[in-house]
Amino acid sequence: MSLLDIGEIARRTGVPPSTLRYYEEVELIRSEGRRGLRRQYDGDVLLRLSLIGLGKAAGFSLGEIAGMFGSDGRPDIPREQLHAKADELQRQILGLRTLRDALRHVADCRAPSHLECPSFRALLKSSARRPLIYRPSSGQSDRQLAPGRRGRAG
């Protein structure tokens, strides 16, 4: 089977070579070898990159995404994590709806100041206080990415 070199992968996926190298550095993908200097990738990485793209779209961090590939390399996404993410998306959707309505209100309302408009205030009241979505900043289920050599400056 023929390996694809990095430029080919980049062209097919739209993911720039620098990013591919970065992903490799943090062990999200791996290359099978070199032709001269050029990295050669197995066709599998195309699928893997789709998966990564999907994960990013869903709002997972690279660390979380890395955790979703079993040590054997094939995806093994825990179902409860998917549900949790779906719930988070749900909350995000609610927030977006509120924001959308707020925006439309602001665009149309003739009140001198929106802050004084009762319906605007009512709109916002629902979302005040607690964070609308849980932003995983340093999560517990977050696998540690390979750190590379970045930061070990001399």
Rule CB under 8 A: say whether 146 interacts with a second copy. no
What's the rounded Cα separation, in Å, for the pair 135 and 84? 12
The letter for the amino acid at 137 is: S
CA distances from 124 to 40, 107, 128 (A): 53, 15, 6
Rule CB under 8 A: say whether 13 interacts with a second copy. yes
Q: Select from 7-15, 71-79, 87-95, 126-134 the region that touches DNA (CB under 7 A).
A: 7-15
**What are 130's two structure tokens?**
């607690």
The site map against a second copy for 14-53 (x = CB under 8 A) is x-----------------------------x-xxx-xx-x
The site map against a second copy for 84-113 (x = CB under 8 A) is -xx--xxxxx-xxxxxx-xxx-xxx----x
**How wide is the angle at C-alpha 98 spanned by C-alphas 94 and 102, nearest 5°?**
170
Contact partner, 5, from DNA, a second copy, none, Cβ < 5-8 Å per class: DNA
What's the rounded Cα separation, in Å, for the pair 9 and 112? 55
Question: Tell me, what DSSP letter sits at residue 143?
Answer: P
Rule CB under 8 A: say whether 62 interacts with a second copy. no
Site for DNA, residues 16 to 75, rule: CB under 7 A: 16-19, 21-22, 34-39, 56, 61-63
The letter for the amino acid at 117 is: C
Contact partner, 22, from DNA, a second copy, none, Cβ < 5-8 Å per class: DNA
